[in-house]
Amino acid sequence: MILDTRYLIVRLGQAVLVLLLAFTAAFILLSLIPGDGVTARFADPTLGLSPEQIAEIREATGADDSWFGRYITSLTGFLTGNFGYSVQTGAAVSTIISAALPSTAVLAISGFVTALVLAVLIAVFATYGPATGPLSRVRRVLDSVPSLFISIPVFWLGILLSQVFSFQLGIVSVVDAGPAEALVLPTLTVAVPLSAPIAQVLIRSITEVQASGFVKVTTAKGASELWLLVHTVARNAVLPGLTIIGLVFGELVAGAVVTETVFGRNGIGLITAQAVTHRDNPILLAVVVIATFGYVIINLIVDLLYPIIDVRLRSKRSVASVSRSLRSHDGPTRRALTATAASVGVDLDWDDDPAPSGETKEKNA
């Protein structure tokens, strides 16, 4: 097996632990904020509620329960899929999240895919672009573009894109636009800052792989740059890129929330902003847990892809089983297999096997 079962179980256990810690931290922080949503919602004099009625509402919502009791109630509800009820509207939080999640998911996926495309294009052209001629300036500019993209605030970029492409050039409409057209500017707003760290890591990784010995040897044998990029450089440079992709997922969630607020999209970002305004803790807690769940799943997938892409990270048990299956080969074949495996970082152990006949004769002599 490529993946070790014990490694998979450990990673799943760590993912569950991260979710539990994130839920606990969010619950504690929301509980420490002075006041509560029930008081902010129902103590308004314009509603005309008596203190007795407010007390009944607080008892019904569990606002006066102990901290530990509310924690256990919330945790049990989350484990069973019951996120509670919104303090502001009284609707089930799961219903509110279900209605807003598809819009945010579409924006996050489109922004993520666009960011990957931008990052790969920037990294490839910055490392394989023309070193001389007019286009050499473009290569140098693209090499510094990631640093510029990282420093751009998401909300400012959204306003700038709307001003330029909608109000000045009239290319994309932000008023009465169709579903596809309304997704263009928010997608770019999410993708541009997100592509910057990925492009930076890819540029550095590709440069390091280009300077390695096996690439120079392959180049000396007559391999073209395109063949090297596709078959050798890309596979060896992708691991650091996978790592940064998992790490920037949190930035993707934050960028989607801010972008939806800027463009007025009905998604998780809009209901989060409203929940912060009205101290609607059940919605805020559900948003934190869902965002953490997505982050954990993405990083878990990234971790499980490592041994599939890089044979050096596969379990020792799998390598040992391959070694046992090769023990019937003779001495020259073993030496060739050992050299080939060593070139990709795998050590084939032949110590337990009897020495080949030629080697035995040499030792006896």
Residue 329 identity (one-letter amino acid): H
Q: Which residue has the tokens 């140098």?
A: 140
Residue showing tokens 């060739």: 336
The span from the CA of 203 to the CA of 141, in Å, is: 13
For residue 244, the model assigns a pLDDT of 81
The pLDDT of residue 230: 74
What confidence score (pLDDT) does residue 358 get? 45
Tell me 327's DSSP state.
T
The 10 Å Cβ neighbour count of residue 285 is 23
Report CA torsion sign: 75, 76, 80, 86: negative
For residue 237, give the nearest of 260, 265, 207, 213 by alpha carbon: 207
Identify the three-state secondary structure at position 92.
Answer: strand
Cβ burial 105-144 (10 Å sphere, 16+ → b, else e): ebbbebbbebbbebbbebbbbbbbbeeeeeeeeebeebbe
Judge whether 239 and 198 are in contact, CB under 8 Å.
Answer: no
Using CA atoms, how far residue 192 sits from 64, 150, 292, 344, 362, in Å, is 46, 8, 23, 35, 65
End-to-end CA distance of the chain: 42
**What is the pLDDT at residue 57?**
67
pLDDT given for residue 77 in this prediction = 81
Give the other-Cβ count within 10 Å of 232's Cβ: 18
Residue with tokens 């993707």: 252
Q: How far apart are CA 127 and CA 140, in angstroms?
A: 9
The token pair that represents 205 in the structure block: 């990784």
* pLDDT, position 360: 43
Which of 359, 263, 243 is closest to 305 using CA atoms? Answer: 243
Q: What are the C-alpha distances in Å from 14 to residues 125, 244, 300?
A: 38, 19, 9
Please tell me the distance from the alpha carbon of residue 151 to that of residue 129, in angstroms, as a whole number.
24
The answer to whether the beta carbons of residues 117 and 131 sit under 8 Å apart is no
Angle at which helix 331-343 crosses helix 357-364, to 10 degrees, equals 100
pLDDT of residue 359: 46
Q: Is there a contact between 255 and 193 (Cβ–Cβ < 8 Å)? A: yes
Q: Is-contact 36 63, C-beta < 8 A? A: yes
Helices (H) and strands (E) in the chain, counts: 17, 0
Q: Residue 361's pLDDT is what?
A: 43
Give me the pLDDT at residue 312, please.
60
Please report the pLDDT score of residue 4 as a whole number. 67
Collapsing DSSP to helix, strand or coil, 267 comes out as coil
Q: 19 with 296: CB under 8 angstroms?
A: yes
What is the mean pLDDT of each successive set of 10 residues along the chain, which is 365 residues long?
70 86 86 67 63 68 70 83 78 86 87 89 81 70 75 82 82 75 86 86 83 75 74 75 76 78 82 81 85 82 73 54 51 61 54 47 44
**CA angle at 349 for the pair 11 and 7, rounded to the nearest 5°:** 5
**pLDDT score of 247:** 76
Q: For position 315, what pLDDT does the model report?
A: 53
